[in-house]
Amino acid sequence: MNKKHETRVVLKMGAKRPVRNRKKKMAGPMRVGIALIILGAFLVGLGGFFNREAVSIYGFVVVVCGFVLYFASHFYLSHLEKKNAKGKKL
């Protein structure tokens, strides 16, 4: 017997299918925030390597903006989820 046939037989006999963990989709602003954090860290590294303090400061500002954007969108989306969850319970 091949494996496909065996699984069909097991499923026909009433065995439960394995539960799949659904991935939570990440919102666009959260992805942009992470990208800004990575880009800013890269700029800080380059500025430090080439002794260009202006590039390092600019990279630090980009990192801070990415951090703020990521957490602002995270808190906003969690607030919306809680609001929708309360509405569904009523």
pLDDT, position 26: 83
Is 67 contained in some domain?
Answer: yes
Total structural domains within the chain: 1
Is 76 contained in some domain?
Answer: yes
Is 21 contained in some domain?
Answer: no
Is 13 contained in some domain?
Answer: no
Helices vs. strands in the chain: H and E counts, helices first: 3, 0
pLDDT, position 30: 93
pLDDT, position 64: 97
Tell me the residue range of the domain where 31 lies: 27-89
Is 3 contained in some domain?
Answer: no
- Whole-angstrom distance, CA of residue 61 vs CA of residue 66: 9
pLDDT, position 16: 65
pLDDT, position 42: 97
pLDDT, position 15: 57
Split the chain (90 residues) into runs of 10 and give each run's mean pLDDT.
51 61 82 96 96 96 97 93 79
Is 5 contained in some domain?
Answer: no
pLDDT, position 29: 92
